[in-house]
Amino acid sequence: MPDPLLVARLRAAGCVFAEDEAELLEDAASDPVQREVLVRRREAGEPLEYVVGWAAFDGLRVAVAPGVFIPRQRTAYLVELAAAHLAGTSGPLALDLCCGSGALGLALARRSPGLRLHAVDIDPVAVACAQVNLAGVGGQAVVGDLTSPLPRGLTGSVDVVLANVPYVPTRAVDLMPADSREHEPRFTVDGGADGLDLLRRVAIEARDWLRPDGLLLAEVADDQLDAATAAFAAAGLAPTTHHDPERETTALAGRR
């Protein structure tokens, strides 16, 4: 059982799952002094994942650092769809664009043995995290803008592209929960006026990298579906919509 005084402090700070968080903080601390430092960070509103140094995602512990987008549980739906698409494929090739911590690529590699994975993010801090997370599965993570740093020899041969791009409309960013709004960099969530600026670019670029029957997968909001579907179609991809009611999330797939 966690320290009752610690639980009380976390509860007073507004932590809904105070007992669970107390156990995680105690496990993360090597001594009482470090524990106090971690607790104070959490009391100040810093996301628990930053404080303990990892996030739970698809049954895995994914290393995260302050300033890196924290993977959301609902986004594991993209991984499930990608793994189903790759089932039975020998030595599949995948791209993880806007990879952040590399959580999606890592989870897909765990589900798809023999996966060849290339991950890209524009932020060096995120790529450093991704390199740590992907080291055990042989994935490559590099800094760059979407597909720009990838080996050109991969064009036309990719089985699946995962794109967890920022898709919150600019006007809605300030309405996000405080822990995200105040601690995650704005560029990791702000998708432009309608939230689809980066997704449109991804659709255009992915078309050239996918093999015939290859799949682009992205998460979108329900009110973005019409515009996102049109963007995929305009890029030469055949769009289909997938919805997971349990996670309350929507995925858009574009097939070459």
Examine the domain organization and report whether 214 and 93 are in the same domain: yes
Examine the domain organization and report whether 31 and 94 are in the same domain: no
Examine the domain organization and report whether 115 and 220 are in the same domain: yes
Q: Flag residues of the chain having pLDDT under 70.
A: none
Examine the domain organization and report whether 144 and 231 are in the same domain: yes
Q: What are phi and psi of 251, to 5 degrees?
A: -115, 145
* DSSP single-letter state for residue 137: G
Assess if residue 62 is contained within a domain: no
Examine the domain organization and report whether 100 and 161 are in the same domain: yes
pLDDT recorded at residue 202: 98
pLDDT recorded at residue 179: 84
Assess if residue 66 is contained within a domain: no
Q: Which long-range contacts (CB under 8 A, 24 or more apart) does 14-18 make?
A: 15/42, 15/48
How many domains is the chain partitioned into structurally? 2
User: What pLDDT, in 10s, does the model give residues 167-207?
Assistant: 999 999 999 988 888 999 999 999 999 999 999 999 999 99
Pairing state of beta strands 210-220 and 249-255? antiparallel
Query: Is-contact 94 105, C-beta < 8 A?
Result: yes
Assess if residue 65 is contained within a domain: no
Assess if residue 63 is contained within a domain: no
pLDDT recorded at residue 180: 87
Examine the domain organization and report whether 84 and 208 are in the same domain: yes
Q: Which domain holds residue 107?
A: 73-255
pLDDT recorded at residue 33: 94
Residue 32 to residue 29: CA distance in whole angstroms: 7
User: What pLDDT, in 10s, does the model give residues 114-132?
Assistant: 999 999 999 999 999 999 9
Assess if residue 109 is contained within a domain: yes
Q: Which of 61, 33, 39 is nearest to 51 (CA)?
A: 39
pLDDT recorded at residue 104: 99
Assess if residue 91 is contained within a domain: yes
Examine the domain organization and report whether 196 and 242 are in the same domain: yes
Examine the domain organization and report whether 220 and 181 are in the same domain: yes
Q: What is the CATH number of the domain that holds 208?
A: 3.40.50.150
pLDDT recorded at residue 162: 99
pLDDT recorded at residue 2: 83
